[in-house]
Structure 1
Amino acid sequence: MNNYIPINKAVNPVCIYQGDEPLISKMLGVDEMIYGFDGTPSDYATCVGAPEMFIKVEEDGLYYFGVEADDTGSLTIAGEQAIKKDGTPPNGKLNIETDSRYLKAGYYKVALSWTNNAYTPASNNAAAFNVTMDREPIQAGKYEGNSTMKREFSPSPKIKLWTIEKESAITCEPSKEVELEFEKPEPVYLEGNGGCNVSSLRPKICVTVCKDESENVWRCRVISVSAGAKLTMYEGIYVNPYVDPPLNGEEATEAVNEMNGYQTRGRVGTWHTPQASLAHEEHHRRQWEDAYKFYWKDSKIQEMLENQTISCDKEPNMDKAVKFMQALAN
């Protein structure tokens, strides 16, 4: 079945997991195993899942996701891995990994996996797995304890999972212009010296296909596109005059001269404010936003993608046609 199904084309959607409790609650004495939530019976999972599962997006917007696991866990959305929480020490204990996606309304195929490593003694081998989905940034749980059993899951809403009987007959609809959504995560503050910087978030283009009966081809259709940039701020060794004002006239003159020179020579010297660095990096983030939106339109990327077709005789399977088009988009 297609990776993306519009809400009005989903036939008999059924919610198989309401998100009332974690997918795998915290427990001890668990064997080493890999579990894929594909409908296989399990002694541990509160939801066994299904071979094809979907999340439901009620309206267009930015959605946040989190994966908590002991040891490892992953979330794939529309055939592309969204989150992989590793289990290397100390992350073998219950911890979280997060991500965000701009999604249009509809159903998106998802896959979940969880891995539990073997420890000795096996009676102390803990298990835990939880996946969250929200319109707000995912909240961290309480991970201060030195074991999974002493830690707490995130209070953010748990993901809900759906199955769909089939997708209704698809006919090609006219292309609709898709605007690029720009993501602006909150700045990450790190201790120590370093150059504050802005780094781009990889563009994400989600596509589907529709069947053109008259031409007997699959045509590509862009569902959504997003990109973004994140800020890394270093709280280095400097004196912030708002926190520690100059103690005499000589220090005051030095502070004023150093800070007045930001625009001509950049940051130099002892005196500095984090607000100045943040304003500087936000300026660069706006440059990224302008560039992404300009090139998305000016390079006619949507038009190029939606000009792509695959013969239905050559590739009768819709899922494989979608994978081909998604590879082009990537």
Structure 2
Amino acid sequence: MNNYIPLNKAIGPKVICDGYQALIPQKLGVDAMTFTFDGSECEHATCPGAPEIFIKVEENGLYYFGIEADDTGSLTIAGEELCKKDGTQPNGKLNIETASRYLKAGYYKVALSCTNNAYDPTSNNAVAFNVTMDKEPIQAGKYEGNSTMKREFSPSPKIKLWTIEKESDIKCEESKEVKLEFESPEIIYSPEIDSCKTNPIPPKICVTVCQDKDENVWKCRVVSASAGAKITIFNDNFMNPLITPPLSEEEAIEAVNEMNGYQARGRVGTWHTPEASVAHEEHHRRQWEDAFNYYWKEMKIQEKLEERTFSCDTYKDMDKVITLMSGYADLASTNLTIATAEYVIQLPDRANDRPYCAGQKVLNEATRKVILLADAMD
């Protein structure tokens, strides 16, 4: 069955996990185990004729996912591993790993797995597994203490799982233009000392296949495509005048001079604001967005993927064709990343260039407030 099925093409969808409780509630005194939700025989996937497991997406949008496990957990969507929670010590206890992906409305085939390691004595060995899915960023649970049994799962909505009897039709419809959606996750603020960064989120291209009976071939159809960029703001040991104002006229003059010089000479001295760093990095994020969108169209990725066909006589198994097409989609994603990165890293990022102009615009407001404060101290 396809990795993706439109809402109106799914026959006999049935909820097999209602999302009211964790997939594996916290248990103590268990042996080593591996638990899968991937279409193999288990109590959560026994629907005759449709063992594959799906999530249902009601409307197009960016969706957030979380994996909580003791020890290791993973989530694969439409053949791509989206999120994996590390189980090596000290991450063996109940903890979380999150990810996001733009999804078009429909049903997506998923695979979930949880591995619990063996510890001695077994009486102290715990297992837990929970997967969350929401249109809002996933909230962390309470992961304090040395025992999984004392920790709490995320309060975000738990994932619902479906089986589908069959697709109503897999004949080919006309291709529809797919626009690249850009993910802009919330900014990460790190206490570590480092230079602020904007890093790309690799493109994700979801494909499906359909059967053209007239031509006796399988054809590819691109369902959705997304890419993005994430911003990390690090601690740079600067003094923020909006939080810790200058205490004297001399300090105020120093702060104003340093902040006024940001555009012309970059970040130097003692005084700066994280808001200016955010403005600088947001400019880089827009550069990634513009470049990804440009090369998505310029490289004609959708067109080239949908040009590929496979003989129905040679490939009678649709799942085999889906695997092959997903491989071509992964290669296209890699090529898109390379082309976009080669362009973005060449964009100017020195004093007086646009990222610094963006930061200076924000610093000008901070400078104005410092001047008002200095005037009040006279």
On whether the aligned pair clears a TM of 0.5, the verdict is yes
Deviation readout 1:297-322 (Å, 9 max, x if unpaired) = 12211111111111111111111111
Cα 1:113–1:192 change in 2 (3 A) is closer
2:127 corresponds to? 127
Letter aligned with residue 103 of structure 1: L
2:286 corresponds to? 286
Greater shift, 296-305 or 47-56, is seen at 47-56
Task: Using structure 1 for the length normalisation, give the TM-score.
Answer: 0.96
Instruction: Say which SS state the counterpart of residue 221 (structure 2) adopts.
Output: strand
Does the 8 Å CA contact 2:62/2:101 hold for their aligned counterparts? yes
Cα distance, 1:40 vs structure 2: 4.1
Does the 8 Å CA contact 2:30/2:122 hold for their aligned counterparts? yes
2:44 corresponds to? 48
1:61 corresponds to? 61
Cα distance, 1:212 vs structure 2: 0.9
Q: Distance in 1 between matches of 2:251 and 2:86?
A: 49
**Residues 1:103 and 2:103 aligned together:** yes
1:204 corresponds to? 204
Does the 8 Å CA contact 2:195/2:236 hold for their aligned counterparts? no
> 5 Å matches for 1:169-248?
169-248=169-248
- Return the structure number with greater helix share: 2
Cα distance, 1:36 vs structure 2: 1.2
Deviation readout 1:13-65 (Å, 9 max, x if unpaired) = 11111011111111100011111134545xxxxx6335411111111111111
Which segments of structure 1 move beyond 6 Å, counting only runs of 4 or more?
A: none
1:31 corresponds to? 31
**Residues 1:75 and 2:75 aligned together:** yes
**Residues 1:321 and 2:317 aligned together:** no
- Return the structure number with greater strand share: 1
Cα distance, 1:266 vs structure 2: 0.8
Letter aligned with residue 195 of structure 1: S
2:364 corresponds to? none
**Residues 1:152 and 2:152 aligned together:** yes
Cα distance, 1:248 vs structure 2: 2.0
Unmatched runs of 5 consecutive residues or more in structure 1: 42-46
1:44 corresponds to? none
Q: Distance in 1 between matches of 2:192 and 2:126?
A: 35
Deviation readout 1:120-165 (Å, 9 max, x if unpaired) = 1110000100011111111111111221010000111111111111
Question: What is the percentage of aligned positions where both structures have the same residue?
Answer: 69
Greater shift, 237-246 or 281-290, is seen at 237-246
Unmatched runs of 5 consecutive residues or more in structure 2: 331-378
Does the 8 Å CA contact 1:192/1:237 hold for their aligned counterparts? no
Letter aligned with residue 63 of structure 1: Y
Cα distance, 1:183 vs structure 2: 0.5
Instruction: Say which SS state the counterpart of residue 293 (structure 1) adopts.
Output: helix
Deviation readout 1:165-218 (Å, 9 max, x if unpaired) = 111232111110111110011111111321101000000000011111111111
Task: Using structure 2 for the length normalisation, give the TM-score.
Answer: 0.84
User: How many residues matched?
Assistant: 325
Q: Distance in 1 between matches of 2:290 and 2:33?
A: 47
Does the 8 Å CA contact 1:200/1:288 hold for their aligned counterparts? yes
1:251 corresponds to? 251
